Amino acid sequence: MNPLTAPLMPPALDLAGIAVFALSGALLATRLRLTLVTVAFFAMVTGVGGGSVRDVLIGAPVFWVRDPWVAPIVLLMALLAWFTPARWWEGKLLDWADALGLAFYAAFGAAKALSYDVEPVPAMMMGVITGCVGGIIRDVFAGVPSILMRPELYVTAAALSATLCVGGIVAGLPQGAAMAGAALAGFALRGAALIWRIELPGYARGP
């Protein structure tokens, strides 16, 4: 990989996305009345889990280990969830922020995989892993139905974003333009699912 071609996300946007994911994990732990240590663990797993798995699989340095800001931001989100009233987080605002983070990180993960010479189809899968695996791990630890098992368009939105990003880059679009366009498409699909409750049909064939 040529490091000059590695995908770059503005640091503020990167940290904001991690913060949203971390907060969603921490809030789930508080709703389950878990300890502060567990709340912090859920924040960390949700905030950096997907990107960590991606980096291990593509042979990249794990992105947050040498970053001085990621771990403090994650722990700050855990404390925020712990010390604030639950009513502050009611409504759809966090869902929309999560949708935006999902779409951008799926595109970013796919682009990063391509920059490490991963083939296009596995790169798409790396995008989905980046956007979704942290939430899947969170749900498994919490003992709640995983986003992977629910019919809502969540993983599908990540897949759309990752696929369009890879397709755009392979077709010769500038990396930034491909990432932005793909992320907006994934966000639009996830947003449509939130507004109109669009779901995938389940398997219905008989024996």
Query: Distance (Å, rounded) from C-alpha 107 to C-alpha 161?
Result: 5
The domain spans of the chain are 8-196
Which pLDDT value is given to residue 9?
A: 75
pLDDT at 7: 53
Give the HSE-up count for residue 132: Cα atoms under 13 Å, Cβ half-sphere.
Answer: 24
Of 50, 30, 49, nearest to 40 by C-alpha is 30
Say what the pLDDT of residue 21 is: 95
Beta-bridged to residue 199, according to DSSP, are: 152
- pLDDT < 70 regions, the chain: 1-8, 206
The upper half-sphere exposure of residue 198, i.e. CA atoms within 13 Å in the direction of its Cβ, equals 14
Instruction: For residue range 116-159, list pLDDT tens digits in order.
Output: 999 999 999 999 999 999 999 999 999 998 888 889 999 999 99
Q: Looking at residue 3, what is its pLDDT? A: 43
pTM summary value: 0.93
Rounded CA-CA distance 145/37 in Å is 22
